[in-house]
Homo-oligomer: A and B are copies of this chain.
Amino acid sequence: MSILLAVSGWDPAPWRRRLTSLLPSHKMATLDELFDRPSVRYALSWRHPPGALADLPNLQAIFSLGAGVDHLFADPALPDRPIVRVVDPDLTERMSEWVVMHALAHLRQLRRYERQQRERIWADDDDQPKAAEVQVGVLGLGVLGTDAALKLGALGFKVAGWSASEKSLPGVACFHGSGGLKRLLSMTDMLVVLLPLTDATRGLIDASLLSQLRRGGRLGGPILINAGRGGLQVEADILAALDSGRLKGASLDVFEREPLPTASRLWTHPAVYVSPHNAAVSTPEAVAAFVARQIEAHERGEPLTNLVDRRRGY
């Protein structure tokens, strides 16, 4: 009985080491070695090559080793087996660190003061808005969106949130559905995007959505913070909105193509923060521990948790 580590773009070695020490009675295999396909009971995937999980007759479950599962659905030959989404508290905490840092950097004009520092200019702003004067709208109220919303609230921001299905959070005005999205956007000064990438959300952050954000707030224009998925955004529309002044600034950790192509104007736009899809990394330690616990429970006959709804796509 064995576990298949089906990753691309990542080094499987630290995962293998960690999982071997947690599950010593299981064999591990990687895609580049010969292994007995019928013996594979669990597949652990990060962007596996399409077809790599086919022809595994005894496969019990597929685990996604990162926060999203959209990479799995890119494989038309994905076997029809339960998919387990990783919920890593470390990843959630790191994501909120990144989101809160960027929300504060835009609120407090950190870039402006860094520029002044380079020019040795000692100058202050007459009219510094505070967090309580800024309405944040969080798109996506899953584990990540919920944690970010609560921490932004703890720092003093006014926080509202939107999710596809109805949610309720203490201290956060919650909207849902397409009517709710319009209402949220019309009140939002700072849009934080932590949605899953599905057929319903692909390309959602486009000119139409950006044009619905509130005008005339205390920040001098709306701010976009996307740490969800690059496929959620239309980068040409974001750049056009920044150029026209309709959007005041952006922090982007994810992009339509990654690595972000050298030619992209996002790299050099003065109002844009670019980070290399590292807002919240999965560490082999935390994720492997989660996966090992689930596999052990399943082997004892207990049900898998954090299962993906294939119809919704997350």
State A81–B130 Cα separation when bound (angstroms): 34
Tell me if B124 and A278 are in contact (CB < 8 A).
yes
Q: Does A211 contact B (CB under 8 A)?
A: no
The residue that A273 contacts in the complex, of B96, B114, B268, B276, with Cβ under 8 A, is: B114
Q: A97-B107, A273-B117, A276-B116 are in contact. Are A122 and B155 (CB under 8 A)?
A: no
Q: A130-B97, A131-B97 are in contact. Are A124 and B276 (CB under 8 A)?
A: yes
Q: Does A132 contact B (CB under 8 A)?
A: yes
Tell me if A108 and B98 are in contact (CB < 8 A).
yes
The residue that A97 contacts in the complex, of B122, B155, B260, B277, with Cβ under 8 A, is: B155
Task: Kindly provide the distance from the CB of A49 to the nearest chain B CB, expressed in whole angstroms.
Answer: 22
Q: List B contacts of A35 (CB < 8 A).
A: none
A231-268 CB contacts (< 8 Å) to partner B: 258-260, 262, 267-268
Tell me if B100 and A130 are in contact (CB < 8 A).
no
Q: List B contacts of A268 (CB < 8 A).
A: 118, 120
Q: List B contacts of A100 (CB < 8 A).
A: 100, 104, 155
Task: Kindly provide the distance from the CB of A109 to the nearest chain B CB, expressed in whole angstroms.
Answer: 10
State A122–B276 Cα separation when bound (angstroms): 5
State A270–B234 Cα separation when bound (angstroms): 35
State A43–B222 Cα separation when bound (angstroms): 42
Q: Does A36 contact B (CB under 8 A)?
A: no
Task: Kindly provide the distance from the CB of A48 to the nearest chain B CB, expressed in whole angstroms.
Answer: 21
13 A-B contacts, Cβ less than 8 Å apart?
Answer: A93-B132, A96-B156, A97-B107, A97-B108, A100-B104, A100-B155, A101-B104, A110-B110, A114-B114, A116-B276, A120-B267, A122-B259, A154-B154
